[in-house]
């Protein structure tokens, strides 16, 4: 519910704060006192459109703020969680500003909002019923939800929606299989060929580098042999030369012997001698490795042909299946899985069709049962709402809950995620006229009474917790006004009701009575408002009764009405 509204520099308002309570709130005042201005301020808090001329003359900026209690409203709390907005002790503060330039800001707590966000949030919590505001009940989608709540069908419809979504998934899977049917056999043959080709090649991811290295050695055989022979001759000496030069190894051995001889004379050379030993043995070992490599060098034209052929096969597979042998091996694995899926596609298709037929039958059966329960609940609902409309002096009005099952040309039900029904609330206020959508009811007073009747009957089913009725008492009085007041007070047992009223017979039922006055204390007109109690409230009710808040008879009548209709709580006056 809304607990407080603060208004500053808005039309004729300088600064004003109003506290609302749970239960039944009434705003009263002379015609033209400014009650509609406060309704306009509330409309801004509900995401209504703003215009620069709403800023009070002489001011740069108008501001409207509201404190909304959301602690016990699951839908509001879920909306806030989605946007990381944290209530403060179950209350959120909404602030909306408007500048003379036409620009403005909207904040909830410290989080900026768009006007659409504010409108969406307020629709969960507050419903304005006036001649100039849209209503949540104008939205046909809400008609179905309200009827389902009234018929206790919400859980059933949720389960229906889950089955409907499952059916859509299964149908999509079947469509994918069917769409692949034409190319299925061709794809099976291709995958089989690819697997057989890869398996026949015996692909090993390490094979290609080894083959390329071996091929390179054969291609460079003569140069490698030349280098190896030259290196060995330098180290060991060239036995084929006419004049043999001393070999590197022989000279190294002689150097080593000389240094060892010197070390026996001077021990400080022992470390150098040992280092030469290490170098000598390293050279000797390297020479053995060089000789082994040289002996392994073989030029075999037949082996080179085998290598070339094998590399051609491996490179061809790489080009076809991914660019590398690792990719070829990975492709082989995925091809095997795809082949398995394709081979079982027929079996999967038959299973899917069976599941789809079964689920379609279940959904159609549920849709018929839901339609029947909606139809029965709709007739009961329209009868109850019609009875309330008669209490509210709309004897010629006829309220209709239309539950129409959608069908195709063959007469078969066409289902959606909520069933097969189109639910519409219709109304006619004049005898002989056909029922029309609620949004086409022209009179603001009639519209508010229709909404009051609907809300009265659907109070327990509607999650909107705060209702504001403007112009609801236009053209009525007497017993009808008392009936209207009784319905609004009963409705306030389920949530907050705020009513703009000119009738004392309505005002005396209120739990919280606020008076709005227009005053000109100086050179400018201002609007003020205050919560009434005691004799102040008696005088305001007397004014509403007779136009004179000081006439003794009116005061006595006002006191009697207030005493008679004061709400009792546990046997005590409120």
User: Is 56 in a helix, a strand, or coil?
Assistant: coil
Question: Are 501 and 550 members of one domain?
Answer: no
| pLDDT tens, residue by residue, 459-500 | 766 666 788 888 677 777 788 888 888 888 888 888 899 999
- The pLDDT score that the predictor gives to residue 214 is 79
Q: Are residues 212 and 121 in the same domain?
A: no
Token readout for 95 is: 């602030």
Judge if 220 and 103 occupy the same domain. no
pLDDT digits (tens, 9 = 90+) for 272-288: 888 988 888 888 888 88
Residue 417 lies in a domain: no
Beta strands in 257-341 (DSSP E): none
Three-state secondary structure call for residue 253: helix
pLDDT tens digits, residue range 316-348?
A: 888 888 888 888 888 888 888 888 877 777 677
- 8 Å CB contact between 132 and 447: no
- The mean pLDDT of the chain is 85
* Position 144 pLDDT exceeds 60: yes
Q: What integer pLDDT is reported at residue 277 of this predicted model?
A: 87
Q: Which of 56-60, 143-147, 233-237 has the lowest mean pLDDT?
A: 233-237
pLDDT digits (tens, 9 = 90+) for 516-553: 998 887 778 888 899 999 999 999 999 988 877 678 88
- Same domain for 77 and 27, yes or no, is yes
Residue 162 falls inside a structural domain:
no
Which of 474, 389, 465, 507 lies closest to 131 in space, CA to CA?
Answer: 474
Together in a domain, 570 and 505: no
Q: Which tokens in the block code for residue 274?
A: 């040992």
Element of type H or E holding 409? none
Residue linked to tokens 């596609």: 345
Specify if 196 maps to a domain.
Answer: no
Task: Give, in order, the Cα–Cα distances in Å from 124 to each of 54, 70, 117, 323, 324.
Answer: 26, 10, 11, 59, 60
C-alpha span between 567 and 562 (Å, rounded): 9
pLDDT of residue 166: 94
CATH number, domain of 21, equals: 3.40.50.300
Torsion of CA 274, 278, 279, 285, to 10 degrees: 150
Give me the number of domains the chain comprises.
3
Answer whether residue 170 is part of any domain: no
Residues 499 and 554 reside in one and the same domain:
no
Q: 232: phi > 0 → left, psi -120 to 50 → alpha, else beta; which?
A: alpha
Residues 475, 558, single domain; the answer is no
pTM above 0.95, yes or no: no
Query: Does residue 140 register a pLDDT over 90?
Result: no
Give tens-digit pLDDT for 379-417.
999 999 999 888 888 888 899 999 999 998 888 889 999
Sheet holding 466-469, edge to edge: 126-129, 466-469, 496-500, 24-28, 512-519, 526-532
Residue where a domain stops, chosen among 272, 290, 323: 323
Distance, in Å, from the CA atom of 360 to the CA atom of 540, rounded to the nearest integer, reads 64
Q: 248 with 285, same domain?
A: yes
Residue 300, domain member (yes or no): yes
Does residue 102 lie within any of the structural domains? yes
- All residues at 6 or more sequence positions from 33 whose CB lies less than 8 Å from its CB, including other chains: 516, 517, 518, 527
Q: Answer yes or no: is pLDDT of 71 > 80.
A: yes
Instruction: Say yes or no: 491 and 571 in one domain.
Output: no
99, 1: one domain: yes
CB of 449 within 8 A of CB of 392? yes
Q: Residue 573 belongs to what domain range?
A: 533-574
- Is 55 within a domain? yes
Using the 3D structure, point to which of 271, 289, 323 is the last residue of a domain: 323
Question: Using an 8 Å Cβ cutoff, are 550 and 539 in contact?
Answer: yes
1 and 106 co-located in one domain: yes
Residue 19 falls inside a structural domain: yes
Domain boundary among 323, 345, 367: 323
The answer on 497 and 539 residing in a single domain is: no
């Amino acid at each position: 519910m809304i607990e407080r509204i603060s208004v500053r520099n808005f039309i004729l308002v300088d600064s004003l704060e109003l506290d609302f309570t749970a239960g039944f709130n009434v705003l009263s005042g002379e015609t033209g006192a400014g009650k509609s201005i406060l309704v306009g301020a509330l409309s801004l808090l509900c995401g209504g459109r703003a215009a620069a001329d709403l800023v009070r003359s002489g001011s740069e900026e108008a501001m409207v703020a509201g404190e909304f209690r959301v602690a016990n409203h699951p839908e509001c709390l879920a909306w806030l969680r989605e946007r990381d907005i944290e209530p403060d002790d179950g209350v959120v503060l909404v602030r909306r500003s408007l500048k003379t330039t036409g620009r403005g800001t909207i904040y909830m707590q410290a989080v900026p909002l768009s006007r659409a966000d504010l409108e969406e949030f307020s629709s969960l919590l507050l419903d304005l019923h006036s001649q100039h505001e849209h209503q949540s009940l104008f939205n046909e989608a809400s008609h179905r939800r309200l009827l389902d709540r009234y018929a206790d069908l919400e859980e059933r419809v949720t389960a229906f929606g889950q089955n409907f979504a499952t059916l859509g998934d299964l149908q999509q899977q079947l469509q994918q299989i069917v769409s692949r049917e034409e190319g299925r056999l061709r794809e099976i043959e291709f995958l089989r060929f690819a697997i057989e080709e890869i398996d026949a090649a015996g692909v090993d991811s390490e094979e290609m580098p080894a083959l390329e290295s071996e091929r390179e050695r054969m291609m460079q055989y003569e140069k490698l042999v030349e280098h190896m022979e030259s290196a060995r001759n330098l180290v060991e000496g060239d036995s084929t030369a006419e004049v043999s030069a001393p070999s590197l190894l022989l000279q190294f051995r002689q150097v080593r012997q000389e240094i060892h001889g010197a070390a026996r004379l001077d021990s400080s050379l022992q470390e150098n001698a040992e280092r030469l030993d290490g170098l000598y043995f390293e050279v000797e070992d390297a020479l053995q490795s060089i000789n082994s490599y040289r002996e392994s060098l073989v030029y075999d034209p037949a082996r080179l042909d085998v290598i070339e052929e094998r590399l051609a096969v491996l490179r061809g597979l790489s080009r076809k299946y991914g660019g590398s042998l690792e990719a070829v091996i990975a492709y082989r694995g995925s091809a095997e899985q795809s082949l398995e899926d394709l081979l079982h596609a027929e079996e999967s298709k038959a299973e899917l069709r069976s599941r789809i037929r079964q689920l379609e039958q279940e959904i159609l059966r549920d849709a018929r049962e839901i339609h029947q329960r909606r139809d029965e609940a709709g007739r009961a609902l329209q009868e109850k709402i019609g009875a309330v409309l008669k209490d509210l002096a709309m004897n010629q009005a006829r309220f209709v809950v239309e539950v129409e099952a959608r069908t195709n040309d063959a007469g078969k039900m066409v289902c959606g995620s909520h069933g097969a029904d189109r639910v519409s609330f219709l109304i006619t206020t004049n005898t002989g006229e056909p029922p029309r959508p609620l949004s086409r009811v022209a009179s603001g007073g009639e519209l508010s009474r229709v909404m009051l009747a609907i809300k009265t009957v659907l109070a327990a089913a509607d999650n909107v917790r705060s209702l504001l009725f403007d112009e609801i008492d236009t053209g009525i009085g007497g017993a009808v006004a008392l009936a209207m007041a009784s319905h609004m007070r009963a409705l306030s047992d389920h949530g907050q009701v705020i009513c703009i009223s000119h009738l004392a017979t309505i005002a005396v039922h209120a739990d919280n009575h606020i008076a709005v006055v227009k005053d000109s204390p100086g050179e400018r007109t201002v609007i003020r408002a205050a919560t009434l109690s005691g004799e102040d409230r008696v005088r305001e009710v007397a004014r509403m009764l007779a136009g004179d808040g000081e006439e003794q008879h009116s005061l006595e009548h006002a006191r009697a009405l207030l005493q008679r209709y004061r709400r009792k709580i546990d046997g005590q006056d409120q």
